[in-house]
Structure 1
């Protein structure tokens, strides 16, 4: 069994190592020096330092070499670069081979989820074999051997179960969920709410504020997901509340880091300048707000994040606006 992982960042490298327990893995990177370091030193010192990579993983800068003979292709590049990479792979991936997105974002220019981008780029690809992997998956913790879980979604349930068995390990539990829309929307929108939670912590607020933001943020995530065709229950699972809890509470999350620094008074330009990989929420927030406006979905927390990121509103002003809103009935369940 052979798998291809496109993208050798922290999560791409981590998923390659997990998969290497049951398959050989072709790991694609743009950079020749990174491929050489991985193949020679058996370590991705830039993105996942201290983690020994087995010889079942072969890094390469050639997409043809990476995907040739692969039983499945996992795409682990940020959402803003997803289309560009897949266009380079067009014609290299047979239409029946499963393609799974690991990116948690929405394409800003089109409003498409990553599975939709996949089908848009790979003409004629089997839509039942395009999916997504999402959940509370902080790479460093997983590579330390800490128990973790994720969710895999794909319309072809038989193939989904096959990939589930390849990616799962004794300490990495892979669940399946047929709700691809919900899984993808949950993964993308939680980044926005996690950034808001980071802002609150950076401002010096405690767990009451965090809990309120996360809970009401989950309601916003769910409202949008349901309108787009997802299932409300998905947002109460690993892709939704699970990922939200991990990202809101972890300093190692890039979205959390950006929010925290914004809360400390730094400007978004100076924050992103020093980042190797820009947090998904910095771009995805715009796409989320566009979708919400198009479908008439109220997302006040996401709107506050958007004003901070794109309009220069201070975090103090944004928080005041949120707290000045007229309280309504919470309702029954997270979709209220």
Structure 2
């Protein structure tokens, strides 16, 4: 039997990080979650609740919190869950304190703006001695924290490492499947957030279920084109961390990205929407980088381009919709 890691640290106490801490605790691990906010640390340690990012969900008392990254970094296994645009700074802060040989799992979905780096690229640049592993797939934090059935992907070129991570956090209701395709796992998670904003816009504009189905399907074509151009495997992109994650995120207003798009589609100003939110909508942050990657690899991604222009406030929603609907008719497989 594969020996699990016992001491698990979660770097990042947003909703998803908190949910993963809950999973690890339910699996019997000793769990420490690192948060920047003293309010979050106190709430988890005293009331067993993250009232800022996952309110209303009682946490396993085995989950402890700290604001000291030096303390947090001393673990057998680290789940890195900061927003994608902050992954580099968090890894850099943790680097001097990491246990020799301790693996790190990247759990953020996005592409770094400016550098166009995937999270595995960021890890390689900041911590080249650590072999990469990625956790991705369809799951909402509130459902995972409640113990509702969820399946995700653990991707790593090291099969033994992937299996040990699965043994550490796997539960009957939290089912990790392993894969060796890092690029597919990462591209699926990054692009689906951008497409979800488009689906939210369609919801807010009341364009109907057919429009959402078309956006999901053609969005999957965009995701696949970019992933294959970057070296991903088709079966990864059509699995949990690609198609599965896309369908979940685009089909529910529980998604921060879909709800952001819906608010925009209803005519609300972006600055007003963002002023009400603590959590990051990764699709908004990743959209410019995804579009830049599409240009770099010479693939067409018109939906992602439209989302980038909308959130960048370079085009109105009505003009973006008109532009998409005015594209030439062509064969579906193109």
Fold similarity call, TM over 0.5:
yes
Structure 2 length-normalised TM = 0.95
Offset at residue 52 of structure 1 (A):
2.1
Aligned mate of 1:24, from 27, 30, 40: 30
Q: Secondary structure, in 3 states, of the residue corresponding to 1:90?
A: helix
Q: Which stretches in structure 2 are left out of the alignment for 5+ residues? A: 1-5
Aligned residues: 328
Contact 2:53 2:279 in 1 (8 A): no
Equivalent position to 1:72, from 53, 61, 77: 77
Question: How do 1:108-257 and structure 2 match up within 5 A?
Answer: 108-122=113-127, 124-126=128-130, 129-257=131-259
2:23/2:144 contact within 8 Å kept:
no
* 1:104 equivalent in structure 2: 109
In the alignment, structure 1 residue 317 sits paired with structure 2 residue 323 = no
Distance 1:285 1:114 in 2: 15
Could you say what secondary structure the match of 1:201 adopts? helix
- What SS does structure 1 have at the residue aligned with 2:78? strand
Deviation at 1:83, TM superposition (A): 0.9
Q: Relative to structure 2, which stretch is displaced further, 50-59 or 277-286?
A: 50-59
Following superposition, the deviation at residue 143 of structure 1 comes to 2.3
Kept after mapping to 1: 8 A contact 2:53/2:278 = no
The TM-score with structure 1 as length reference comes to: 0.95
Secondary structure of the structure 1 residue equivalent to 2:138 = coil
CA distance in 2, matches of 1:278, 1:33: 18
In structure 2, C-alpha distance between the alignment counterparts of 1:142 and 1:311, rounded to whole Å: 34
SS in 1 for 2:148: coil
Instruction: Decide whether the 8 Å contact of 1:26 with 1:67 is kept in 2.
Output: no
Aligned equivalent of 2:282? 280
**Structure 1 position 42 matched with structure 2 position 44:** no
Indicate conservation of the 8 Å contact 1:3/1:23, yes or no: yes
The 8 Å contact of residues 95 and 125 in structure 1, kept in 2 or not, is answered as: no
2:17 corresponds to? 12
For 2:65 and 2:140, how far apart are their aligned partners in 1?
22
Gaps of 5+ in 1: none
Q: What SS does structure 2 have at the residue aligned with 1:152?
A: strand
